[in-house]
Structure 1
């Protein structure tokens, strides 16, 4: 499908895993996509791969906690003609363990990247999104935001915060015709989920929670994001959509 022809998208943390799959899918559907990550070599590798697929992609180094880097992202979008879609995907988890065992430094880093940066990206994107006839703001949360994982205590809480940010921002931006939604992936096969799937016992435990009895694929997530970014998702806003194979997702 080519539902996104003529649209411009920014996807953060998009050189690997879920972010890369989202950028790839949006570009496959016709969007011009700006990808980013913290390391230049990763940006160059991802851009090269997607360009070889004939996709319209540009890349920038961006640490989402850096105001100058965020400004460069939106400047690039402006040069391309504006901004129609922002997918805020960047997240970190520097410490594994229960929530109340988290160190203060790790807590601060998790909330700085996972929550504060998502808020600032959205805030800074609004002027450009208001100029679009189809403004889309999409946060990437996690099933852990609904059902906290013991190994991902502080991370889980940060992802719960995004659910609330989605609801509040959707109400504020609805009069401007901008939809705001959140996608909460389950256990997706990526490097980020290795702690939950690397050992046989951990994988068995993970699968026991998933009614569909399989781990997710990055394309399971990217297809939902593409739907929300397209005209097919034009009447959906303020929603937190779980993509987790049937895992429990009740706050």
Structure 2
């Protein structure tokens, strides 16, 4: 098995990379079977976005040399090949966000965690919600709203009081951010095949931006979000502490 090694720019990740290079031979990403990523969750997300540019994205085995490291395995410099060979695989499809701007332009970006709409000014946003061509909410008055994948449900979605989604659920979380009206609406669970559209009301007076993970589009008027089933990404985890176990544990965290 041929491994490639990527490390974040932090001193801790760089030192870990040197330890691994001392005992393992690595190849360029294009020649690898698996990519080993050293850093935190943000760096792994960056690596996954880089993998989206490849025709055949490589599976990724992350090791935590960052802070939280929710998507990362523990770092150990020994037995790397054996760990990768025994790792449990989890596949995911990214979201595809297509946003139309007030100027009439249209841009598309992938999102692995979530797509979020956020107000740009002190005034609340007014957003209509359309699911599979049917208007489900004429007007949500809020700071914003987001769509999260199961892999991203423990990130921004959880901070916004959205539900944690089991990895095998094939669901999307539709979660409001500080809703004002309807005040008691807490969001919805949608089938993974759903096509979600957001229509920005009073866009000139109440501008809204759309963000696909870290890519922001300002002054949007319409946003379409759906899973891109043509792209599959693979994460690898030590079997004793896999991502699905971590997500289950989060549901019981205090």
* TM-score normalised per structure 2: 0.29
- Tell which has more relative contact order, 1 or 2 (C-alpha 8 A, sep 6+): 2
Q: Name the one with the larger strand percent.
A: 2
* TM-score normalised per structure 1: 0.29
